[in-house]
A and B are shown apart, each in its own frame.
Chain A
Amino acid sequence: MSQKDKDINNETNEETTDASREEIESQNRRASDEQSTSRDSDGRDPYGNRGDERLHGSSEMSTHMNSDMPPGAGDHGGLDYKNLPKSTPGWKVLVQELIADKLALFSLIIFASITAYVFGLTMFLDQAEIVFVDLFAIHEPPNEEFRLGTDYGGRDIFGQLIIGTRNSLAIGFLVTLMSVGFGIVYGLISGYFGGQIDNALMRVVDFFLVLPFLMIVIVFVTIVPSYDIWTFSAIMAAFLWMGTARLIRSLALQETELDYINASKTLGTSNLKVIFSQLMPNLVGIIIVNGTLSLAANIGIESGLSFLGFGFPEDYPSLGTLLSYATQTQTLQNRWWVWLPAALMILVLMLCVRNIGEALRRAGDARQRQA
């Protein structure tokens, strides 16, 4: 692991080549020339992390220099409000935390490259050809034609792995987007209005919580003759939004008590605007963390259902289907190429997303920050 860490450091260092470094320095010089009419340009960064920023954010250098000006240094002229200093926004803290946590950065790079590779490659793969049964090529070990061998139907494992990963990821993203999106709106409304509305909305949540999620999904899959990624995600999301809704509701209840919400109300802002432009931005850290962590879980859920045989049919590749071949002892013992790549893929994906989520969670908590 430490070797890999060093590799990443080298990579990032290589990115800032000598040429770009010179450019940055000249920008610095120009920026400080501009400021020399005002007060001293050696300001403070509220987060004290300028060193890191210089390495990574070279394209944003000019705006960043502005944020380095000391408080009140912008009062030359008074009317050129376009150049008034802006301070470090909250999302930069997230980025800084991700960069400081080498494991999370590494995970992010791996996850991003797997996602890009998988989604890119599936555009060139022909799914019909991959799932075509070829009885003359059953159970072939990895060779030149089939990079990861074939399964009991003579189907290419590598192709199935790529398409399966794409399906799992797509479903994971979709389910997360739908369930977290709905959960946020639901929780915000419940927490903001409180009282009887909150009471009624939370009883609905309780009702959904007691429903046996797995059984309903299995029944749905058995009854509905054909389904695609969208309907499958929707039915899963319908039973996965309650956790987010409860979390957001509890935080919204706390946050609504604060005076800035009262202030907004007395200033004549409508409830809807208060909820989405005042309340929600204050919960955005939690929302991101919650979304990332449930993404990891949702990728696993699809694989799990397919593994049990209630996911997509066999002509629709999925990581879970590949894994379920391992229930045959013959395959488990002698034909590792059928199931091992899929198992590793699930492991790597879930670990990566989890590491990223943990780093984001830490960024929201100043005491645990590493940056």
Chain B
Amino acid sequence: MEQPDLGELMSGAIALRQLGKRYGRKWAVRGLDLVVEPGQIYGLLGPNGAGKSTTIRMLVGLIRPTAGEVFVWGRKIGVNGVAEDGGVGALVEGPAFYEYFSGYRNLAMLAGLSKKVSGTELEWALHQVRLWGRHRDKVGSYSHGMRQRLAIAQALVPRPRLLVLDEPAQGLDPQGLTEVRELLKELVAQGTTVLLSSHLLHEVEQICTHVGIIAKGELIASGTVAELLASDEGYEVTVASAQAATAALAQMALVREFSQDAEDTFTVWLHEDEPQQLNAGLVDAGVGVKGLRKKRTELEDVYLQLAADEQPLLAAAGVGERGEAP
């Protein structure tokens, strides 16, 4: 990955430069360069233990980096974390509140540490997460989903310029997921920048404009969702004879790579986007082509493919063997 230059560091809502955190001899995060531009919804993806939460903790100042720097709105974050910038709302690793206080009191107490917040603003946040009506109940009586919604509400007041959400979908029901998705889109439309981490690929694909994939503490891919999906587009070919197709595909110069997904189905990646030549080549080689269509790659495919190199377990879960073209 390329290192962000000074201009990017200063203009980005978030800029991480060569960020690293080491526990003993083990690096939890290493050499992480990442820039989130204003107005983006940036999704940080990665398997458990990849370093997403450590990155977010360094970003908000909960833990100190062993190496590198964190910039928020162009300002370097010091030992006081986001105290340097009052416009950051954050939810880090699940909800944690004072159980013997009501949801409203928790919210008022925490928001009051940022700046004086009006009752209207608190009410707005509680309405956004469907907690208005239960706001006078003690948090101890809340379900996990309600606590998660309260955690999102506390990140919303006062209205942040930058919202950092670690696994915001955790514990939410389908309605809650949809509402949070809509809420984030609305906030971004009003000028808020969002960084969220998740392992729910479908959610990230639906909501994020940009994605970074992190594995073993390193950023292994980054870009817009469209770029990442485009990077892995291939063609699904259904044939009459798999044996003949394997031989033909291995001989074709047009074919960059292929994999057999089922008994009669292959995914084929081409050097040039010319599927008609692929079809003609197969027919010329005597392979009966039953079907040929552009494969719709989902973020999950990209994620699994990228993470496969980093984590054998993920490969076993979802990535097939690939034959190499000549």
A and B associate in one complex:
no
